[in-house]
Amino acid sequence: MKLTDKIVLAYSGGLDTSVCIKWLKEKFMADIITVTVDVGQKENLEEIGKRAQQIGAIKHYLIDSKEEFVKDYVFPSIKANALYESKYPLSTSLSRPLIASKLVEIAEKEGAFAVAHGCTGKGNDQVRFEVTIKALNPKLKVMAPAREWNFSREQEIKYAKEHGIKIEPKKSVFSIDQNLWGRSIECGPIEDPEVEPPLEAFEWTKPLNEAPEEASYVSIGFEKGVPITINGEEKKPVELVSNLNQIAGMNGVGIIDHIEDRLVGIKSHEVYECPAALCLIEAHKDLEKLVLTRHELFFKEIIDSQWAWLVYSGLWLDPLKKDLDAFINSTQERVSGNVRIKLYKGNYRVVGRSSPYSLYDMNLATYGISSKFDQSLAQGFIELWGLPTRVAYSMLSKMKKE
Ligand code: ARG
């Protein structure tokens, strides 16, 4: 029997969203249409579609958004040197507004009255999905079954068994979310912040004792803030990021161990593998230092951290993001050139940079005698530079004595 009401569900293939299919169908007597957006999670996405239909979805969409993800979400984040709390490259966060926009697109196409996702009430993703969906289409109802039913894992398994949902053997104790920009790892032993994350948590990053004994060098070419070449060879966006994940990961580079402040107020222990992201942001920051003035750099740091905060907190569509992008894009006009990184057993370090817009002037910087920097001017500079400090210090000292 075909039902008239339709609900579009973001489907990952995991237990939560599988249970969602049945639960939504029963509760709302609606047809469930599942959507999986490929942002480079490297899972068997064909199988996931089949599973959705076996459980009871009337239709499944698999949308390949890898290129769009890298071009329109990851690249702007490189321009913004986006690291939430100075550490996390926003891999999961960046994918959410994109997935949300696809859900809305399908819901509109299918004439669905609601969009559902499998997030619980404790994380950031619920906020990112819902803020974006509601902004894009205020008429759509948003449902978060997992937040509503509040099942424990055991209850969830019981429900699944009772409803004929095949339970796939759990691949690991961790909760994983991955895409081209990184792999987020939570749960299991990682919940104790005092405990070192076990080796089994990592898939993209080689343990240091297995990393090559010789350093690898990789040269990244940027144009207007966007990476376009690796070792002089032009690469398409998806290929560029995948290649760097591979090269850096092989050298043990990519692990981030982070005490993170979630939007909902919880501190959590999050572990990530983001080999390409760490290298690209480090290289990009370095190139900016070569071509931007100190005033631009100083101000951009403030803008960059605001950008990361906005994206982390689910406000991709807030006009402020566009405003920040306008400033950032203007600074990126001159961020073109090459950056060479040395990778060795978990270390990554910029060891060379060049740009046609370089502000580095050897004639000014050199300690050799040929410098055109007139040192005699320094004396007067120091007089004026230190004037306010000297005045204040002398006043305060006098007051102390009195
Ligand atoms: N803490 C990160 C964020 O909010 C990652 C969340 C990833 N979720 C997961 N199931 N591991 O963006």
Same domain membership, residue 317 and residue 212 = yes
Q: How far is the CA of 320 from the centre of ligand 1 (A)?
A: 24
Choosing from 177, 256, 311 the residue with most ligand 1 atoms within 8 A of its CB, the one to mutate for a pocket test is 177
Choosing from 83, 95, 125, 128 the residue with most ligand 1 atoms within 8 A of its CB, the one to mutate for a pocket test is 125
Q: What is the CATH number of the domain that holds 18?
A: 3.40.50.620
* Residue 279 belongs to a domain: yes
Same domain membership, residue 196 and residue 133 = no
What is the residue range of 114's domain? 6-65+89-162
* Number of domains the chain contains: 2
Atom of ligand 1 nearest to the CA of 174: 11
* Mean pLDDT across 185-202: 93
Alpha-carbon torsion angle 345, 69, 287, 232, nearest 10: 70
* Mean pLDDT across 206-231: 98
Least confident range of 67-76, 231-240, 366-375, 385-394: 366-375
* Mean pLDDT across 382-399: 97
Residue 3's pLDDT band, with cuts at 50, 70 and 90, is low
Strands 59-64 and 31-38: parallel
Alpha-carbon distance of 378 to 375, in angstroms, equals: 5
Least confident range of 13-22, 159-168, 220-229: 159-168
Q: Provide the pLDDT for residue 156.
A: 87
Q: How far is the CA of 176 from the centre of ligand 1 (A)?
A: 8
Q: How far is the CA of 363 from the centre of ligand 1 (A)?
A: 48
Please write the tens of the pLDDT for every residue from 336-355.
999 999 999 999 999 999 99
The residue from 175, 216, 305, 358 that is catalytic is 175
Alpha-carbon distance of 9 to 24, in angstroms, equals: 9
Q: How far is the CA of 108 from the centre of ligand 1 (A)?
A: 28
The residue from 65, 77, 95, 125 that is catalytic is 125
Q: How far is the CA of 120 from the centre of ligand 1 (A)?
A: 12
Query: Is the CB of residue 218 less than 8 Å from the CB of residue 350?
Result: no
Which protein residues touch ligand 1 with a CB less than 6 Å away? 92-93, 124, 175-177, 184, 186, 260, 270
Same domain membership, residue 191 and residue 212 = yes
* Residue 189 belongs to a domain: yes
Alpha-carbon distance of 18 to 34, in angstroms, equals: 10
Q: Provide the pLDDT for residue 391.
A: 98
Active site (annotated) includes residue 125? yes
Atom of ligand 1 nearest to the CA of 124: 4
Residues sharing a CB contact under 8 Å with residue 306, sequence separation 6 or more, in sequence order: 320, 324
Percent of the chain with pLDDT over 90: 87
Please write the tens of the pLDDT for every residue from 107-122.
999 999 999 999 999 9
Same domain membership, residue 102 and residue 248 = no
Same domain membership, residue 349 and residue 200 = yes
Active site (annotated) includes residue 323? no
Instruction: Quote the tokens at residue 367.
Output: 């300690």
Query: Is the CB of residue 269 less than 8 Å from the CB of residue 262?
Result: no
Residue 1's pLDDT band, with cuts at 50, 70 and 90, is low
The residue from 18, 77, 93, 96 that is catalytic is 96
Percent of the chain with pLDDT over 70: 99
Same domain membership, residue 251 and residue 305 = yes
Same domain membership, residue 57 and residue 156 = yes
Same domain membership, residue 321 and residue 284 = yes
Atom of ligand 1 nearest to the CA of 186: 11
Q: How far is the CA of 92 from the centre of ligand 1 (A)?
A: 6
Task: Report how far Cα 125 is from the mean position of its chain's Cα atoms.
Answer: 12
* Residue 75 belongs to a domain: no
Please write the tens of the pLDDT for every residue from 20-37.
999 999 999 999 999 999
Query: Is the CB of residue 155 less than 8 Å from the CB of residue 176?
Result: no
The angle formed by the CA atoms of residues 174, 176 and 181, to the nearest 5 degrees, is 145
